[in-house]
Structure 1
Amino acid sequence: MKIVITAGGTSEKIDDVRTITNSSTGRLGYAVGTAFLQQYADELEAVYYLHGTRARHPEHEKVIPVEIGGVADLQRELGRILAEEKIDAVVHAMAVSDYTVKEVTTLEKLRGEDPEDGGADPSGNKISSDIEDLIIHMKRSPKVIGNIKKWSPDSLLVGFKLLSGVPHEELIAVGTRLMEKNDCDFVLANDLQEIGADFHKGYLIHKDGSCDTMETNEEIADRIAQRVMTACRERSK
């Protein structure tokens, strides 16, 4: 079996030294990868591990790490792997940026004003730190999860949905909509308010509407690995 795991967060460049990113550490994706390797390494041929620049990858001979910068990197590398390899399952745990940088300007330029001294230049490889009012114009990123089954219809897909401070019923409903929209086989729904240093409550939603409830990162990782491997074995019969 060959599987893909995405983990960590994407980072969108403002200039050559500055980025916009999110708070994802990749800890859950790392736990999922570790669970697969500890329990099912004999059944795995390769684990393609696509990870953000701040996220580490499991150290194992079957892991093929691919470092990801922004959403464009993720689209390119994930699309390439799914086109070139027969992938049995994709566990898409990466926190993908919802927006990318379209352009950078200043408040003066936005207002059509022309400072007498010309003003600091917002273009170039490194934006000047003399600019008082920097404006970053962002645009919506493509939804990578929506392409996975288009690129590889036979791959089992696990999606992830993180919300913050919502009622349990809403969390499950949003996770279910993500599943239906993107043809996921499972979705891990979790709420930021139920995540701490030593606990992480997660709900693994199945296509039939049933749900597994876990209390820690390790329990979530073990359950995802177990469900994915069981489903892949059944498909191969």
Structure 2
Amino acid sequence: MKILITSGGTREKIDAVRSIANHASGSLGKQIAEKFLAQGHQVTLVTTKTAVKPARQPNLCLAEITDVSSLIQTLEPLVKTHDLLIHSMAVSDYTPVYMTDLDEVQQAENVTELLSRKNSQQKISSAADYQVLFLKKTAKVISLVKQWNPQIKLIGFKLLAGVSKDTLFAAARKSLINNQASYILANDLFEIKADSHHAFLIGHTEIHEAFTKSEIAQLIYEKGIQND
């Protein structure tokens, strides 16, 4: 099988020296990739420069991205040529539009007019005590996958923080249906520790529980190669 995996976390640029990023390390994606590689599958790993990665080997192809825009540009042609996508990357929900000092915001007659402006400086001045950063929602990459390739098998991820199991499961099932996925890996940030990772692999008719990254990788491997 030709396996496509995303891992790590995207980074959205504010200016030439600043960006908004998340804390995703890519460690789970790395273990999942290693599981498929160990069984002789061809793996393409779409990841970031700072994410951890498997050792280079003949069946592994690495593609590095930075932000959501580059992820979409890189992912679309790959989705069209692979059998299975495991979308474990932490994708930024918002991207910077304009950053300015608080005085400009307070003086603006129409704050929404500021959304049409762009920062021209390579490095935005840090002279002001307070800055306001306007953010714009990014595209939901997982929602594009089946548009690019209706035949690809999709395993997505849903991460929430400090919620009930019912809330977590409901969010996972919504993603499962909306994105036409085969499975969604549902996990709570508060249940991810250095030596443990509690998660649930949720399908349309089944739920599987795991307690470590190794168990998650094994579950995803087993369900990924299984015929639906």
> TM-score by structure 1 length?
0.88
> What are the Cα deviations for residues 127-170 of structure 1, in whole angstroms up to 9, with x where unaligned?
12223222111010000000001101110000100111111122
Asked whether 1:97 is paired with 2:92, we answer: yes
The farther-off stretch of 104-113 and 49-58 is: 104-113
Gaps of 5+ in 2: 109-118
Q: Is the 8 A contact 1:22 1:95 kept in 2?
A: yes
Cα distance in structure 2, aligned partners of 1:199 and 1:82: 31
Partners of 2:61 and 2:11 in 1: how far apart?
21
Identity %: 37
Shift of 1:61: 1.6
| Poorly superposed stretches of 4+, deviation over 6 Å | none
1:35: which partner in 2?
Answer: 35
Q: Counterpart in 1 of 2:116?
A: none
| Cα distance between partner residues in 2 of 1:3 and 1:24 | 21
Residue 82 of structure 1 and its aligned partner are, at CA, apart by 2.4
Residue 222 (structure 1) aligns with: 218
CA RMSD of aligned residues (A): 1.4
Report how many aligned residue pairs link the two structures: 217
Could you tell me how far apart the structure 2 residues matched to 1:184 and 1:227 are? 12
The answer to whether the 8 A contact 1:149-1:183 is kept is yes
Runs (5+) with no aligned partner, structure 1: 114-121
Q: Equivalences for 1:40-59 in 2 at 5 Å?
A: 40-41=39-40, 44=41, 46-59=42-55
Partner of 1:73: 70
Q: Secondary structure at the match of 1:73?
A: helix
Corresponding position of 2:26: 26
For residues 108-139 of structure 1, give each alpha carbon's deviation from its aligned partner in whole angstroms, at most 9, with x where no partner exists: 211228xxxxxxxx641111222322211101
Quick one: distance in 2 between partners of 1:56 and 1:62?
17
Write out aligned runs for 1:135-150 (5 A).
135-150=132-147
Deviates more, 1:66-75 or 1:103-112: 103-112
Q: Distance in 2 between matches of 1:103 and 1:190?
A: 33
Per-residue deviation at 1:74? 0.6
Deviation of the 1:26 alpha carbon: 0.9
Write the deviation string for residues 188-212 of structure 1: whole angstroms up to 9, x where unpaired: 001112111111111001122x101
Q: TM-score, normalised by structure 2?
A: 0.91
Specify which of 105, 123, 146 is matched with residue 110 of structure 1: 105
For 1:169 and 1:229, the matched residues in 2 are separated by 28
Asked if the contact 2:79/2:85 (under 8 Å) is kept, the reply is no
